[in-house]
Amino acid sequence: MNHKTKAENEATDTQWPLWEVFVQEKQGAPHEHAGSVHAPDAEIALQNARDVYARRGRLLSIWVVPSAAITATTPSDDGPFFDPGNDKIYRHPQFYKVPRGVKMF
């Protein structure tokens, strides 16, 4: 038996950094967020991600990214930040009229 002091235990129990896991399920499909894992480095993060998110053997590829390295929009960006995309209906093909009977594609 090894008896450790509380301080020693705390030293070894320090939480490892968080990594976000992205997986590709099918050939040609995009990588999708699956969840997260804790790991001391990228290599172990990949191994942990495999053990946690690929137990059914259907995955083609896994990405791990340090969670701290991700910059994301915030929900309050919802309005102004995305506005430039919302008010340009002329970017959609339905905006344009085509003479009846003409096949475009």
Partner 1 sequence: MEDKKRLEEFEARIQRGEKIEPKDWMPERYRKQLIRMISQHAHSEVVGMLPEGNWITRAPSLRRKLVLLAKVQDEAGHGLYLYSAAETLGVDRQELIEQLLEGKAKYSNIFNYPTLTWADIGVIGWLVDGAAIVNQTMLAKSSYGPYSRAMIRICKEENFHKRQGYEIVATMAKGTPEQKKMVQDAVNRWWWPSLMMFGPHDTDSPNSGELLRWKVKTKTNDELRQRFVNLTVPQAHAVGLTIPDPDLKYNPETGNWEFGEIDWDEFWRVIKGDGPCNRERMRARRKAHEEGAWVREAAAAYAAKHGMKSRVA
Query: In whole angstroms, how close is the CB of 84 to partner 1 at the nearest point?
Result: 21
Question: At 104, is the secondary structure helix, strand, or coil?
Answer: coil
- Per CB under 8 A, contacts with partner 1 among 8-67 are 9, 12-16, 18, 34-41, 43-44, 51-53, 55-56
Query: In whole angstroms, how close is the CB of 81 to partner 1 at the nearest point?
Result: 13
Query: In whole angstroms, how close is the CB of 36 to partner 1 at the nearest point?
Result: 5
Secondary structure of 26-89 as H, E, C letters = CCCCCCEEEEEEECCCHHHHHHHHHHHHCCCCCCCEEEEEEHHHCCCCCHHHHCHHHHHHHCCH
- Per CB under 8 A, contacts with partner 1 among 83-102 are none
Half-sphere CA count of 73, side-chain side, radius 13 A: 8
Q: Which residues bind partner 1 (CB under 8 A)?
A: 4, 9, 12-16, 18, 34-41, 43-44, 51-53, 55-56, 72, 74-75
